[in-house]
Amino acid sequence: MGIQVYLGLFLVLLSVPGHYGSKCGYESCHKPVPGMLNVHLVPHTHDDVGWLKTVDQYYYGSKSLIQKAGVQYILDSVVQELLKDSNKRFIYVESAFFFKWWKEQDDDLKEKVKMLVNEGRLEFIGGAWSMNDEAASYYQSVIDQFSLGLK
């Protein structure tokens, strides 16, 4: 069930003025302003699970000479920023890292994260354990990714 530059990502939480709905999906988007070009930019993750480092090395930020990455800090800072400003949204992809982060959180923060999800401000997409390589992946690997991630 996720603001720093990690894994080559430029993650910026954008504060876009406007009305905020209390439902998921398109109903949670800011209302368009008539007569204007309305652009919705929603930051997201793409944290490769185990690409250049082990899952733990990515998550905790060790082996920074290989690559600067500390996924737990992305989740920590995104949740705090979302809680501070109801105009912000974020999309999270990698169930593997979220699962690891979720187990470390107390009940109070878990309830706050559930609220963010229910309000459509934190959204999980894909549903796989990690974002698989869609250009050269074998179908069984894609099935395995989604089977594990959706559990």
Residue 79: is its pLDDT beyond 80? yes
CA-to-CA distance for 136 and 31, rounded, in angstroms? 39
Taking the C-alpha atoms of residue 53 and residue 125, their distance in angstroms, rounded to an integer, is 23
Q: Do residues 61 and 69 make contact, with C-beta atoms less than 8 angstroms apart? A: yes
Say which residue, 31 or 101, is predicted with more confidence.
101
Which pTM was predicted? 0.70
Residue 28 lies in a domain: no
**Domain count within the chain:** 1
pLDDT of residue 32: 83
Closest CA to 2 of 98, 83, 87: 98
* 31 falls within a domain: no
Full residue range of the structural domain in which residue 104 is found: 41-150
Q: Which residue has the higher pLDDT, 50 or 62?
A: 62
- Whether the pLDDT of residue 100 is over 60: the answer is yes
How large a percentage of the chain has pLDDT more than 90? 25
Q: Which of 40, 45, 80 is nearest to 59 (CA)?
A: 45
Mean pLDDT of the chain: 77
DSSP class of 44: B
Residue 19 in domain:
no
Average pLDDT over residues 109-133: 88
Between residues 16 and 92, which one has the greater pLDDT?
A: 92
pLDDT (0 to 100) of residue 23: 59
Whether 2 maps to a domain, the answer reads no
User: What is the CATH number for 71?
Assistant: 3.20.110.10
Q: In sequence order, which ranges of the chain are alpha helices (DSSP H)?
A: 55-60, 71-84, 95-103, 107-118, 139-150
Tokens encoding 40: 């919705």
Mean pLDDT lowest among 5-14, 28-37, 46-55, 139-148: 5-14
Q: Kindly tell me if the per-residue pLDDT of 63 is higher than 80.
A: yes
What tokens does 54 get?
Answer: 């082990």
Q: Which of 149, 27, 25, 16 is nearest to 93 (CA)?
A: 149
Length of the chain: 151
**Among 29-33, 107-111, 117-121, 122-126, the least confident range:** 29-33
